[in-house]
């Protein structure tokens, strides 16, 4: 069955702490640690409605599905990535819980009720469109990494309309956009509540941040969580990251 569901250049990867399998294609898109961390960062509602914006091949929403019974709607503009995500949904027999929408995220309210979403997850393009020096020539990666088809302001604006009052938006992004992120969230009445910086090693600068905001929430009570370190000095995963990837007590197994 697996060979029949794959297209040229595709493979199936698995996050070993779950049973979820993801169809990947290195030439088109592959999830990385930012997607994994985002799926684990917010407390997921046990029921209700979750939206995964800029979903790529569906990894964030599919990983999140193992921790909740909520319905999950994934939204991806690129047809090829949306097709990969749809086949991953089928592969994992999650069609009753997870659905894929191949559309521009600005049309989100055509697919979910206004003020009806409990949680929005988003791994957005990190780089501003005018940052041309590092643009990848691969169209799929270019659109995934640069704010060409969407940007931070549009994501916050759409989220503000789609979220319930006190609904939450969780983002993974780059630390050098931190002030821009805070300003844009507050512009759309999304109050930052939890922030965690992610470091490749303990002696390195942060290269990711996770941030959670609440619609119409108080601007008081912002929490800066302890730093999350990905690798030990040896290059091995830290215990916290190892557990996320392989499950509790995995290192203790013979």
- Please report how many Cα atoms fall inside a 13 Å half-sphere around the Cα of residue 210, on the Cβ side: 24
At 203 the three-state DSSP class reads coil
Give me the phi and psi of 47, to 5 degrees please: -140, -175
Cα(82)–Cα(90) distance, rounded to whole angstroms?
12
Main-chain dihedrals φ then ψ at residue 34, nearest 5 degrees: -60, -40
At 2, is the pLDDT very low, low, confident or very high (cuts 50, 70, 90)? Answer: low
Please state, for a pLDDT cut of 70, what percent of the chain lies above it.
87
Q: Are 73 and 45 in contact (CB under 8 A)?
A: no
Gyration radius (Cα) of the chain, Å: 18
69-92: average pLDDT: 96
Q: How far apart are CA 6 and CA 20, in angstroms?
A: 16
Q: Is the pLDDT of residue 128 over 60?
A: yes
Give the model confidence (pLDDT) of 140-184 as tens digits: 444 445 445 568 999 999 999 999 999 999 999 999 999 999 999
Q: Quote the CA–CA distance of 155 and 77 in Å, as a whole number.
A: 13
CA-to-CA distance for 165 and 205, rounded, in angstroms?
35
In order of their start, the domains of the chain are: 2-252 (3.40.50.150)
Cβ proximity of 167 and 120 under 8 Å: yes
Neighbouring residues of 34: CB distance < 8 A, sequence distance ≥ 6: 123, 172, 208
Mean pLDDT of 132-139: 51
Is the pLDDT confidence value at 132 over 60?
no
Determine the pLDDT at residue 249.
66
Q: What is the pLDDT of residues 195-254, one digit of tens each?
A: 999 999 999 999 999 999 999 998 899 999 999 999 999 999 999 999 998 887 665 443
């Amino acid at each position: 069955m697996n060979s029949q569901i794959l297209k040229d250049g595709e493979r199936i990867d698995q996050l070993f702490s779950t049973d979820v399998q993801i169809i990947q294609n290195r030439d088109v898109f592959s999830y990385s640690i930012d997607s994994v961390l985002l799926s684990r960062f917010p407390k997921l509602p046990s029921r209700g409605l979750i939206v995964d914006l800029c979903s790529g091949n569906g990894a964030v929403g599919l990983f999140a599905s193992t921790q909740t019974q909520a319905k999950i709607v994934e939204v991806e503009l690129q047809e090829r990535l949306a097709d990969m995500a749809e086949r991953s949904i089928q592969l994992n027999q999650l069609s009753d819980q997870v659905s894929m929408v191949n559309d521009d995220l600005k049309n989100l309210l055509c697919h979910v009720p206004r003020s009806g979403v409990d949680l929005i997850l988003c791994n957005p393009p990190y780089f501003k469109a005018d940052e041309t020096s590092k643009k990848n020539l691969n169209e799929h990666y270019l659109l995934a990494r640069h704010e060409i088809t969407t940007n931070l302001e549009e994501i916050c604006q759409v989220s503000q309309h789609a979220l319930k009052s006190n609904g939450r938006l969780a983002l993974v992004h780059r630390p050098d956009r931190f002030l821009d992120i805070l300003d844009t969230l507050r512009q759309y009445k999304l109050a930052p509540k939890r922030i965690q910086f992610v470091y490749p090693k303990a002696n390195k600068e942060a290269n990711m941040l996770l941030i959670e905001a609440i619609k119409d929430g108080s601007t008081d009570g912002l929490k800066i969580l302890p730093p999350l370190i990905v690798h030990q000095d040896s290059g091995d995963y830290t215990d916290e990251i190892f557990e996320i990837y392989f499950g509790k007590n995995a290192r203790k197994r013979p």
